[in-house]
Amino acid sequence: MAKIKTDLLVIGAGSGGLSLAAGAVQMGADVVLLEGNRMGGDCLNFGCVPSKALIASANAAHGQANTARLGVANAVPQADYQAVMAHVADVIAQIAPVDSQERFEQLGVRVIREFGQFISPTEVRAGEHVITARRIVIATGSAPLVPPIRGIETVPHLTNETLFDLREKPEHLLIIGGGPIGVEMAQAHRRLGCDVTIIEAAHALGRDDPELSAIVLDTLRDEGVEIVEDAKVASIRGGAGAIVVETKGGHIFNGSHLLVAAGRKANIDRLNLEAAGIEATSSGVRVDERLRSTNRRVYAIGDVAGDMQFTHVAGYHANVVIRSILFALPSRGKNAHLPHVTYTDPELAQIGMTEVQAREQHGDKLTIACFDYDENDRAIATRQTSGFIKVMVVRGRPVGVSIVGAQAGEAIGLWALALANGLKMSQIAAMVAPYPTLGEINKRAAGAYFSPRLFDNPMIKRVVRAIQYWVP
């Protein structure tokens, strides 16, 4: 058994672990990185990267079939599912070197391709190695949650970890779960020529503002996706190519393939947390606002920390803990400035509070400012007028922003800057956006906040009239 001593041990080579390891080693720390599965983790291999590559193919097919609105005859897209999945694999392959073992070893990280297991509060066993570290960071991510549905253990089913291995197009894809993953994959597969049914136990996109999510869901329905809500699955039966899903209400759904997109679970089972005195919850490792576990030497970042499960959040967590670990500086994680996006068409983006949350917390102090895409000249020119922006404002500062529409994920970036730095609506309004761009919706939303204060204010009108009269 080889023994290793190091400054920092990172368990998991997903987005958060890689960001932390790269930053720490380049600033002079001795770093060991453990990964028992694929370098790059879920994001590169099973999540963000392959899903967005698939969505790009689906959107291209949809675009070919919907050009008449631009004066170009519609065409029947010839989507080759096998070629689409080859494109997905190629995208992964092009990005993989950035996350590879070779690159991190060149940076100076010692990479051990084994799963880690705590054997004491300061020691982790990984294969034939026992690593003792001053600080340990758990960055093991999450995995798809497969609910204990009767029959599911004997029926072939897909998750995001196996979906992108398909090479033959599903004739009819049944999807359990109407969250972001389920809805994104539903629209993509429908645009690639599959029949698709979403079966959701509560409300599809239920964590988002219902006024905005309705626009996304109506678009999917218009495109032919069947969305069944308030339908809890009771049992699954059948076999490959002929799967039957039955709900507790007795409704039967037949399909050729089944995708389970019913949530995520933290990857903690292998870690033997008890040996290190680390407490866990139903959502992952219990951490404080510094992302430190109940073992003061051990931190957790990303999905396994049991909070927002997004790649960019894991990267942000890495930045939070690196200050504590390397520089002994007080550093705390916050959520208010962290955005998330559902990459449907139209896109759905959110940062900070939704309207419901803002009303609950701020009551009469809240002002809502909105602006519609159909009043944006670029959106009109490109026939992308479905959507709007909603900004929640308290005392002149945005506390939340919801956007549905074309490139909403790009537009939300400005508001991430605003919330992270406490900017005022006046500073957003002072921005000069190039014309014509979809990004103008941000400035126009700020203008919508100030318009009633300027144009409907009798005092301002009296002042303006007085100036016109008295000033030569």
Q: Point out the annotated binding site for FAD.
A: 52, 116, 140-142, 303
Tokens of 84: 């689409």
Three-state DSSP class for 379? helix
Total Cβ atoms within 10 A of residue 73:
6
Binding positions are 52, 116, 140-142, 177-184, 200, 263, 303
Instruction: Return the DSSP state at 294.
Output: S
Element (H, E) at 6: strand 2-11
Q: What is the spatial distance between Cα 165 and Cα 413, in angstroms, rounded to a whole number? A: 32
Tokens of 378: 């670029």
Q: What is the spatial distance between Cα 109 and Cα 396, in angstroms, rounded to a whole number? A: 47
Q: What is the spatial distance between Cα 355 and Cα 269, in angstroms, rounded to a whole number? A: 37
In the numeric block, the tokens 């990857």 are attached to: 267
Q: What is the spatial distance between Cα 445 and Cα 211, in angstroms, rounded to a whole number? A: 17
Q: What is the spatial distance between Cα 138 and Cα 110, in angstroms, rounded to a whole number? A: 16
Q: What is the spatial distance between Cα 16 and Cα 415, in angstroms, rounded to a whole number? A: 23
Tokens of 422: 């406490």
In the numeric block, the tokens 């992302």 are attached to: 291
Burial (0-12, 13-18, 19+ Cβ within 10 Å), 403:
buried
Binding positions for NAD(+) are 177-184, 200, 263
Instruction: Return the DSSP state at 165.
Output: G
Q: What is the spatial distance between Cα 100 and Cα 395, in angstroms, rounded to a whole number? A: 47
| Beta pairing partners, 130 | 3, 125
Q: Are 429 and 450 in contact (CB under 8 A)?
A: yes
